[in-house]
Each structure stands twice: as C-alpha cells, then as structure tokens.
Amino acid sequence: MFTTFDIIDDILGLKGAVDRFFNDTSTYGRRFDLPYVNVYEKGDSLVIKAVVPGVKPEDVDIQLIDNSLVIEGEKKADYTDKPYIRKERSFGKFKKSVRLPYRVDPGKVQALIQNGILTVHLEKSEDAKPRKIEIR
C-alpha cells in the first residue's frame, strides 16, 4: 500500500508538539496562574482555599471584581544572598481569578492565611438566596 508523504503535515505536527510543551503548566517553565484553589459551598457561604506557601498576608491582595474573586500577590525569594545548590520552588508574582457561581455580600468577606493556606469565606447575598414562592 502506498501512502503520500506530506512534509507540511509533519512540520505542523512538530509545531503543535512544541506549542503543547511550552504551554503545558507541568513543564519546567511554569506559568504563574497560581495559586491552586479549591472552591466549595458550606451552607449559605462559599469557601475558597488557595495554596500560598511562604507568602505573608501583607504580600497578598484580594478583590471582588464583578462576579469574580481575584487573588494577587508575590512569593518572594527566601535565599537571595547565596546561590542555590538545587532550586525547585518558584518565586515571583501570581494572579488567580475565580469566577463565583452567584452574587456574594461584599461586606461579609473574611480572609485568613494559616499554614500556607489562604482561606476566603464569602456569604451569599440576600438576593441570590432561594425564596419560597407561595402559590394561591
């Protein structure tokens, strides 16, 4: 059986493999779309937990913008006066936007960093809570 050889297809396939390598967050050159977050509901509140090891509370900025929670900050290098023998941890600025499933009350937001975990509690706004409709 004969097949046709198309060098253009091979070049485009190689380009796609290279693009996937550099865009993959698990590769060496990680992008800073960190921190990783978990989001869950607890009654009428929404809890967002973000992994921020080594980050101080004064280095983190949290904002409610439209229907999203934006976590922005900087993980500062902890050993700058001497070179590393091995360096696997990343440092630098980070920004993460979490789309909220419903409106929250901006006056009832609480945030705490403890043991490298940022925990943000958001209360559901009154107009987002379900209401029972009486049928006549």
Q: What is the CATH number of the domain that holds 64?
A: 2.60.40.790
Please choose, from the candidates 135, 132, 109, 131, the residue with its C-alpha nearest in 3D space to the C-alpha of residue 120: 109
Residue 132 counted as domain residue? no
Residue 27 counted as domain residue? no
CA 7 to chain CA centroid, nearest Å: 40
Q: Which residue has the higher pLDDT, 31 or 50?
A: 50
Residue 66 counted as domain residue? yes
Number of structural domains in the chain: 1
Task: Encode burial over 58-74: b for 16+ CB neighbours within 10 A, e otherwise.
Answer: eebeeebeeeebebebb
CA–CA dist 36, 74 (Å, integer): 14
The per-residue pLDDT for range 20-40, each reduced to its tens digit, is: 776 654 444 444 457 899 999
Give 22's Cβ-side CA count (13 Å radius): 5
CB 107, CB 125: distance < 8 Å = no
The per-residue pLDDT for range 116-136, each reduced to its tens digit, is: 999 999 998 878 777 888 998
pTM of the predicted model over 0.75: no
Parent domain of 56 = 32-126
Strands (E), the chain: 37-42, 45-51, 60-65, 68-75, 92-99, 110-114, 117-123
